[in-house]
Structure formats: structure tokens, C-alpha cells
Amino acid sequence: MRIRTLGVIGAMVLLTVPSGYAQKKKEVINDSNAPLHLLQPDYKVPYGVLTVEEVKGDMDRVLGYLEDETHTRVVDQKTGKVINDYANMNADAQLERGAFRLASYEWGVTYSAMMAAAEATGDSAYMKYVTDRFKFLAEVTPYFKKVYETYGTVDPQMKQIIAPHALDDAGAVCAAMIKAQIKDKSLDLKPLIENYMNHILYNEYRLADGTFARTRPQHNTLWLDDMFMGIPPVAYYSNIASDNQQKYVAESVKQVLQFADRMWVPEKKLFRHGWVEEMQDPPAFFWGRANGWALLTMCEVLDVLPENHPQREKVMNLFKQHVQGLAALQSGEGFWHQLLDRNDSYLETSATAIYVYCIAHAINKGWIDAITYGPVANLGWHAVSTQINEKGQVDGTCVGTGMAFDPAFYYYRPINVYAAHGYGPVIWAGAEIINMLNNQHPKMNDSAVQFYKKEQMTKEPIFHVSDPGNARDVVAGVSRKDSNSPVVLLIGDSTVKCGQGKGENKMWGWGSFLENYFDTDKITVENWALGGRSSRTYITEGLWSKVLAGIKPGDFLIIDFGHNDGGPLNTGRARASLKGTGDESQTVVMERHGGPETIYTFGHYLRTYVRQAKAKGANVIVTSHTPANRWTADRVNRCDQTYGKWAQEVAEAEGVDFIDLNEIIAQKYETMGKDATAALFVDGVHNTKEGALLNATCIVEGLKDLKSNQLNQYLKK
């Protein structure tokens, strides 16, 4: 195992790095001829996009280690022999000792984490870890309780369950048991849960207003740790309580807000670790793990809190502010510091893992933005992974920590692989990172980890972002199955795609439904039309150049313009083309920017599309535009003397196929009649879903009538 030291003032604190870490680092390029921006940084922790496989591999090592170190046997503490006859145990009976206790608050975190891991990975071994131990504890507790009643003493680990005297004894394990009981109805954990809840609700020390409190190290002290030790079990109890469930939700929210009233420091967007009622000016030490407990508490409460709860927005805003404050303090190594705002304090694993879980969870829930915070969680897991050694031990974790009002106490807390606080957060963080990787689309771009709303298919190291929902930002061919499969590309105006093509304002274009008619195992359809564009502005606004760049030999291009080619040349929307198909042009001064633009005929712009697409090897089909809901007597108005006529002339002159969509649809409207046709329109031009579907069938009808067109072979039979 390689060991490196991370900066800490005074005492030396070692963070161990697994030997595999060296292989994850990128080799530094020393080629003097290479562009400087391509030189690879010598990162101290791995950098790049994570994979599910590597995250689960790290988690599995931890699981394997914990399986070996947390036993489910009762032994005689004097002889070491295993006791199987629980009914005849005496005061020497105790749980077999491993590296960690089965019912500590740290293991409550671990049980919750294991359940999340089982769900995220689909690996039942994680859930089995929980159920094996909970079944064991449920089975032996009544017998240990009898020992306690008989002898007045009992194994201290079991006493935490039988007679909890602090939130540390009860809260985190109770919350985990409630979750397990909900997941697996066959478990019989209700007696243990009720015993824990009896202490939390009725016996735990509180301030006068009911806030969970302690009488150490000072009278009436609030510990930030107690947010997590006490509040989540109350919130989750609302799911199984037999009485008024809403009162437990209300109590959990009340506790969060009352802790925040005393301990939240808004200018830092962090929580102080401790608060003492009689202090006139309480100091603010922003201990890493305690802030983790606070953030985790809000995650847990928000998971339970109904969407319409009147206080949900207040808790959510506090959570988001906390995330903002924490993200700003992440170190370049991906860790957070023991004292968050003091960079000379050491880098600590458990707090880092908790933040990674909470941030990734919030991304997956849609509470915060993946573009902003995905890289934070990604880097944080890279850091955490360096602290998982080959045995599956987690290093770099601060040991159990009380409260102090001077910095030295926090600076010099030891770290140890047997600090139980690190294991649950690491498993929990890994589980939520896997969920994030399955739901988000991280990719390296210009040497940086970026998160995208849609998968970016490019293999280029530096690329511009494409959004298939926005034709301003197109990269044609993103749906291509493989290098040999063709794509049908649609360009046009809002009659082809209205808005994002998802029925905004109940308006639809026919392009949203064309793919329904094709065998999509062999060919895909991409709708790059954009509302409001004309044959001219689709080119001048740069949309066509981006479509053209993605065309490959064998693709198909369907062109449908005409609705927006009339109107003013240089004022207002200024999208008109000159009439006809000739080579004439006109230079005008554009109102919106005062510069010149040379404008060409409708036919000129259509020829541009046709010739450039053919040069790329595409098969081109030109259509006349869809008719509007405009009639003369009982006849639909055509465009057969204007844009439809000119589109046909260009197609014939350039030797490409033409579909007289205007005529095909108009005939159907006339058969239906005016009243039935009116129901297919939202206004005079834009169609309802039913109208767009009809227009799509007319395109297909036109395709089938094209004798030479190769696109027909991909239509569904």
C-alpha cells in the first residue's frame, strides 16, 4: 500500500492510498511538441468519469470485510464458546466481538447504507447483510433482556438495545430497522422499534421547547450530531405508527427547524457543531462530520416529507443552501477538511462520503442541478475510493468525537481504520453514485468532467454540446444505431416540429410521429425542424450547417418549407425569401443589427439544401408545405402556384423526389369537410395531435407512391 501525507498543521495525519491508485493516475506528457492544453495534470486522486463497475468493486471489498468483522453469534465471555441455547444464558453471555458493534449508531448508518446498496446494485448480498443481523438481534434480545432482569447486568452492546439511554443508542439503528421492516414484512422488528421510539419520543433529554439536547459538556447543549441521531427515526416512524402518523412528520420538521434556529450560520452556509443555551456568543466550529449528519438528516426528512407539506420548501431551501456552502469548500483532492473552513486541518473521509451521498441523492431526486453538482459528487467519490484499501478497510476517518470550543481539539483528533463512522457513509455514497451514473450522462470534455442531460455520443476530446430537443444546437445522426444504419433527417418549420415536439400548447408537427411508421431497428428518424424558420433563416441562423455536418452516405433528408417564406425582407422577423426559383438576389440593410444581408429566392435556398445534402451522399425528398385551414367555398386553398410549385420545380431540376404534401392533405380535408377539418387545428396553421398524425400518414402515403425512393424499404410492413 502506498502512503501519502495530506497537509495538516502540527501532528502528522496519514491517509493511506491503495496500491491500485497508482494505475488510475494519468501519465504526464513531457513531449515539448504537444499543445500545452493537452498536457495531463498530475492529480493527487484519480480524475475522470466513474464507472458503475469500479464503484461497485470498491463497495464489494468493504462488504466482504464487514461480513468477516461483524458476527452473529453469542459466546461465553470467559470460555469463548459459542452459545446456542439462549434460554439458559447467564451474565457471561455476550455478542461475539468483531471489529464493530452490531447496534451502535455507526452501524445504524451502515444498515441503511446496505439497503440502499442492494437497491442500487441489484446485489442481494447487501440486503442479506442487514436481514441476517436484524433477525439475529430480534431473536436474542428477549433472552438478553431476561439476563438483565435476572442479574442486573448484561453485555453492554445488548444494553444499548434493551435499555437505551441516549440518542446514540437508539436513533440511527431504529431508523434502519423501520426501513428494513417496510422492505421486508417477514422481519419481526416491531418490538425493538417500539422500544427505541419510546426512548426517543418520551425519555430523551430536551430543551424547554422540545429540541433534543444533552447536559454535556455543558448544561443544555445542542449537538449537531443529534439531528441525525434523533430526527430520521421520528420521520420514518410516521410510515408504520398505529396512531396519528402526521404528528411524527410534524415533529421531525419542527426539530430540524429548531436546530437550525440555533446552529445554522447563514453567512457561511454551514452549521456550527455545538450550541450552549447559556453562552452569550457561541463559537462556530464547522466540524465536517457533524455537518454531514445535518445534511443527511435533511435528506432523510425530505424523503419522507409529502410534496405538499407546508414546511417542505423551508427545509428544502435550507438543504440547498447547505449544499452550496459545502460545495464551495471541497478541496482540490476531492475531500473536505476536518474543520470545513480551515484548509490547514486534515482531509477527512467520513464527512466526504456523507456529502457525496447527499449531493448525489439530491441530484437523483431532482432537488439540485446535476450540471453544477455532479462533478462535485464524482470527484468526492474518487477521493473516497483512495481510502478503501485492499482488505476493504476504510481509512482517513476521524474517530468518535465529543464537543469542544477550541480548534486544537478538532485538528488533532486521530484517524483510524477501525473508526466505524466511515463504513456506512462509504457504502451509502457508492450506492447513490451508482444511481447517479445510471441516471445521468457524465462525459469528459476538454479534460474536465461534465454532466449532461442527454448522452453525448461524440468521441471527440473537446466538443460543443448538442441538445436534440433544440435545433439551434444540433448534431445530426445522434440516433444512428451503428456506422451502417441510416437516419431520416427532417428540416422545416413548426408544421414539422412545434416547440420541442412534445405537444406544447397542444400544438404538434407531423415530424413528431413519422418514426412510428418505420422499422426503428434498421433506421431512425430525427426531427431537426424548428418553429418560425423559413428556407432562408434555417440557413442564416446556422441550423443547416449543423445538420449537414452529421449527414452520412445513405441518410435521407426530407425538406418542408414555405409557410414562413413570405413577409418583410429586413424588418420585424425578417425571414422572407424572394419569390420564385431564379438566381436573382437583393441586398438589404437589416433592421435588427444595421448590417447588410443578401437575400435569394426560395428556389435558391432549396437548391442549397439539395445539392449540399447530395454531395454528402444523402437521398433527398422535397415536399410542398402542409395546407392551412383556409378555404374558398368548399375547396382548401393550395400553394400550387407558389411555394408548392417552386418546390416541385427545384426537385425536378435537381433530380430528387418530390411529395406534393399540400395536395394530398388538402384532398383529405375536403373529404372530411370544414367542421371536421377545423378540429385538426389549434389555430389557422398549427395542428392538434390528431391533425399532425393525419399529416404524418400523408407523408407515408407520398413515400409509398415514389417508385424509385429507397426509403420505402424501411417502412413497417
Residues with Cβ within 8 Å of 323's Cβ and at least 6 positions away in sequence, in order, are 295, 358, 359, 362, 368, 373
Q: How high is the pLDDT of residue 464?
A: 81
DSSP state for residue 491 in the 8-state scheme: E
Select from 521, 519, 543 the least CA-distant residue to 531. Answer: 543
Tell me, what amino acid is at 186? S
pLDDT of residue 271: 98
Q: Which of 345, 494, 512, 624 is catalytic?
A: 494
Report d(CA 390, CA 61) in Å as an integer. Answer: 7
Proportion of the chain above pLDDT 90, given as a percent:
88
DSSP assigned state of 33? T
- CA dihedral (98, 103, 105, 106) in degrees, to 10, reads 30
DSSP 8-class letter at 41: P
Cβ proximity of 97 and 70 under 8 Å: no
Active site residue 155: no
Reply yes or no on domain 471-714 having CATH 1.10.443.10: no
C-alpha cell read off for 189: 422488528
Overall size of the chain counted in residues: 717
What pLDDT sits at residue 9? 33
Contact 354, 425 (CB under 8 A): yes
Q: Residue 40: is it exposed, middle or buried by C-beta count within 10 angstroms (0-12/13-18/19+)? A: middle
Residues contacting 247, CB < 8 A, separation 6+: none
**Beta carbons of 554 and 617 less than 8 angstroms apart:** yes
Q: Is 686 a catalytic residue?
A: yes
Residue 465's pLDDT is what? 74
Domain residue ranges of the chain, discontinuous segments joined by +: 471-714
In this structure, the number of other CB atoms found within 10 A of the CB of residue 418 comes to: 14
Residue ranges of the chain with per-residue pLDDT less than 50: 1-30, 468-469, 471-472, 474
Task: State the CB neighbour count (10 A cutoff) for residue 235.
Answer: 24
CA distance 461 to 445: 6
